[in-house]
Amino acid sequence: MNFERKVKGALEDVDYKSPIVVYRADKLAKTYKKTYKGDVNPSVAVDVFYTLYLPYPKAKDKLEDKILFLNKIIISKLMNLKDYAKLKYDTMVDVDISFAYTVSFLKKLIEALRREFEKAKTSKSPSKAKTLYNLINYLLGKNINYSSIPSESTLEEKVLEKAIQEAHSEAEQIANNVRELKSIASGSRAGKYPGLFTSGEFLVEALKLAETAYVTEILKNVKHVLSKTITIVHKEKRDHKHGVYDGVTLGKDISRILPRELTLEDDVFYKKLADSELLLRKRILIEKVGPLYV
């Protein structure tokens, strides 16, 4: 891992020089590459991630680099989505879900912008096509000249806003599927078992699974079954000389004999011993069998 790599971004209260931020930017880019066989701009990826992960993200007023205004526009429009608060409920301080949403969101955003780019080419809108082309290249992490960066006045904001909404709708469903997979594995609260997927290489497989058309319905059915499942833990008792006291019984285990039996005449005592009729302290062990799911 090269922690000397420079990461820049458009969010306040994010130390882009911090090893953990650099690590996450690199991890996001690698996860994207393994999942979708392509590259993504780690600067944009880490900004989208922290927009979801942090409780109160805020875009910077002053940017250290001109090109970062593209990051700022993307995360600002993301934060302005109607269901952003609902999305945050699942992603806040949850590394796995924030990772899943970020990676899938960027993929869907690039796809949506490419569709708009093709429309612009066929409709003979060269300036619009050029703007979208440069924006796509920026998201892909390609080196582009500052002169080719669309200015805020020429940026196709309405097109970008539409693309972000489309990407969000698809990414949200994928992230929900990953959340359900995580819920089945560990529990449903945001932040529970953080990094369960991202700590290994499971997120790539989880994302691929979560994107399939049929898995949404399967997860709905599984969730329904789990919500209706009755768990029964059956307890069994068995005699054990080192168990807990549970009354009086008959037998010939002298180690558990009641004191009163020692006052018997010898012939009576030995007869009761031979017949296993001495009064003894009853000791038992309680063992759980199950759980059984009904």
Per-residue pLDDT at 10: 95
Name residue, tokens 């080196």: 143
The per-residue pLDDT for 102 is: 94
Residues 206 and 182: their CA atoms lie apart, in Å, by: 9
Whether residue 24 contacts residue 98, with contact meaning beta carbons closer than 8 Å, is answered with no
Instruction: Return the SS3 of 2.
Output: coil
Residue 152 neighbours by CB distance under 10 Å: 10
Q: What are the residue boundaries of the structural domains of the chain, listed by start?
A: 19-228, 231-293
pTM of this prediction? Answer: 0.67
Backbone angles phi, psi at 223, to 5 degrees: -60, -40
Run of H or E including 79: helix 69-79
Nearest to 135 by CA among 122, 124, 151: 151
Confirm if 72 and 173 have CB atoms less than 8 A apart: no
Mark residue 247 as left, alpha or beta (left: phi above 0; alpha: psi -120 to 50; beta: remaining): left
Residue 183: CB atoms within 10 A of its CB come to 16
Show the tokens assigned to 85: 């608060």
Helix axes 126-139, 95-122, angle to 10 degrees: 160
CB under 8 Å to 197, separation ≥6 — which residues? 96, 99, 100, 178, 182, 203, 206
Question: Which tokens go with 86?
Answer: 């609902």
d(CA 17, CA 20): 9
Per-residue pLDDT at 294? 44
* Residue 277 to residue 249: CA distance in whole angstroms: 9
Could you count the other beta carbons within 10 Å of the beta carbon of residue 94? 25
Q: How many CB atoms lie within 10 A of CB 32?
A: 26
What is the number of residues in the chain?
Answer: 294
- Per-residue pLDDT in tens (0 to 9) along the chain, 294 residues: 444 568 999 999 999 999 999 999 999 999 899 888 999 999 999 999 999 999 899 999 999 888 898 999 999 999 999 889 888 887 887 888 888 899 999 999 999 999 999 998 888 788 888 888 889 999 999 877 656 666 655 567 788 899 999 999 999 888 887 777 777 655 544 444 555 555 555 667 766 766 765 565 665 555 554 455 445 555 677 777 777 777 888 888 888 888 888 888 888 888 888 888 888 888 877 766 555 444
pLDDT at 142: 87
Contact 56, 94 (CB under 8 A): no
Residue 291: cis peptide before it, omega within 30 degrees of 0: yes
3-class DSSP assignment, residue 148: helix
> Cα–Cα distances in Å, from 1 out to 19, 24, 30, 177?
10, 11, 11, 30
Find residue 279's DSSP bridge partners. Answer: 250
